[in-house]
Chain A
Amino acid sequence: MTTEATEVPAGDVGSLYRTKEGLGVWKHRGKVAAVGIGHSPTMRRWDERPETSVGAWAILALRKAMEDAGVTPDQVDGLVLGEETTTGSFWPAEKPIPEDFLNAFQQTDNPLDGLAKLSAAWILKNMPELTNVKTVITAPVCMSMVLTAAIQAVGDGRTHTCLVLKGWHNFSGRYYQGGANAQDTVAGPGKFGQALAGPASYGTAMQFQRYLHKYGKTHEMMAPFVVNSRRNGLLFPEGYWAQHRPEPLTAEDYNNARWVAKPANLFDNDIPIQAAGAYLITTAERAKDMRQKPVYVLGHAGAGRFENGLYLGAKSRGVIETLEEAQGNAASTGRKLFEAAGIQSTDIDFENMYDGFGLFHVFHIEGIRYAGIKEGEALDLFQDDISIDSAFPVSPSGGNIGSGRTRFWNHTDSIQQLQGRAGARQMKKQVEVGLSGGFMPFWSNFVVWSSSPD
């Protein structure tokens, strides 16, 4: 890292998030804006070329975001990123790191940096043009956390022209296989729960099973959502399915797909990919002079808690979060978002809530009362027109289900929709306010975006 850059201590990062109700309108409402967007290409699994490593693609995405915003590298004074890049796959301990990768980049003291993680130090070593970065924040987990931290940091004046980065790596082989899962013993908290199940989608599947039982619905009622997500994903030129497998999905395909953790099937699970995405966040004042139309942040909020320097999910009462707890977390997040942004659910023109398991998209949109729905009504909404041409578009980005596991398509789409440059995905109706964020109801951060600062 350059000697001038100061990293916000991990213990202070929690102060950047709004996780409580009753905090009032966000004090920086309308004063922070997203301007630039940068995406790398996508790839199902890394092909082991240096130029397609997650590090190389992160650099590419950052440069594109600056170019898109019309900002020169020396104007950037902040960098916020997520260090972890795994989609669930890990570089095998016994496998040598490719020499050509090591030779292609300036390395930190961790040889996996740029290949299976992304530190700020690695980025700054390999982007010497970023000569003016003063503030660095390493945020936990996913783009929503990273983006929210950057938005708050800009609002607080810690940085004024800030790059935001999230990269994901995916290696050959089946993920989550091997390691602790291959052992005949289990240590850690998983011994009370996850070690009995296995797939990451189990918890959501179990909640969804309860949902079907409680409200008298069927799994088949999810089909229109997944079909719509793929359709929207195929209109997303930056996404995996549009780039590599431009195949529409039918309800029949969905209903006949193999189960992973019933009632979660293959298409309820997102596909892990390698990709990087970046945004340029700045003050509303500076945004006026940049290349793209500013998209203003009215507020942000999420579910979670910050303890001992760690951002943790909202606590569940027992071994596993119940449906009612997930619904409670989603509804609370909705109230926090509306409070922060000073709006009501009826002000929302579109939603890009997370869908990494498509099934919990139901809980998210009920939590924000999208299209006026209450708990138990999302699947009924899906039976109506939910396309980008409808009155209440559902997941116009297509999300992770439509473009692969990155947790950033929803933000990109929200910004592009409000800038009026979503291309084939541009909604027909006039849009002014949208929501995006993730990930799961118990642990999330969402942003309320607006075409106007007021």
Chain B
Amino acid sequence: MPKQSPVPNDLDRPFWDACNDERLVLQYCDSCTRWQHPPEAVCYECKSAEKLRWRENSGAGVIYSFGVIYDTPIASLQFDQPYNVAVIDLDDAPGLNVMSHLPGTPADAVPIGAKVRLIFETTPATGQKVPEWQVVS
């Protein structure tokens, strides 16, 4: 389904550039051995940028929960209502979650606890690619 195209800024550009290469990279603090997402200027734990780097993540995960949207104010999503918005727990980044429309899963048929895999979609306005997740059948 067509989404708004994210506009990268100086802080998160590495994330979005990697998406265009169909790779998921997230911030990781070597000092705290801790993943961090969404991106921030410093590690939230040690407040330092020194050991904060971009690290590739498989994107494998499981569905934590979801909602089904029937009344969104976002114009580009209104045509596809109702649609799923799932929260994914990432296997390789304990405690971190991301959000997904779960392409291929009918609205309100979301299996909590199911495994998902990472894919990428191209957004129409700018061609920016974004991460998405599909249930592993």
Contact = CB atoms under 8 A, between A and B. Distances in A.
Interface string A391-420: 000000000000000000000000000000
B70 A195 contact: no
Contact of A259 (B4, B68, B95, B97): B68
A1 interface: no
B38 A319 contact: yes
Contacts of A258: 70-71
Interface residues of A: mostly helix, strand, loop or mixed?
mixed
A195 B9 CA distance: 16
B70 A260 contact: yes
A397 to B, nearest CB: 27
B70 A262 contact: yes
Contact of B6 (A182, A195, A206, A210): A195
A207 interface: yes
Interface residues of B, number: 39
B100 A196 contact: yes
A13 B99 CA distance: 34
B99 A315 contact: no
Contact of A322 (B7, B64, B99): B64
B109 interface: no
B37 A318 contact: yes
Contacts of B82: 259, 262
Contacts of A187: 6-7, 9
A321 B69 CA distance: 18
Nearest to A88: B73
Contact of A261 (B68, B101, B124): B68
Interface residues of A, number: 41
A320 B71 contact: no
Interface string A242-280: 000000000000000011111110000000000000000
B114 interface: no
Contact of A196 (B3, B7, B44, B75): B3
B67 A263 contact: yes
Interface in A145-182: 174-177, 181-182
B126 interface: yes
Interface in A172-205: 174-177, 181-187, 189, 191-193, 195-199, 202, 205
B101 A196 contact: yes
B67 A261 contact: yes
B112 A210 contact: yes
15 contacts: A183-B75, A186-B4, A186-B6, A192-B98, A196-B100, A199-B72, A202-B85, A205-B67, A207-B65, A209-B66, A210-B112, A213-B65, A260-B70, A317-B96, A318-B96
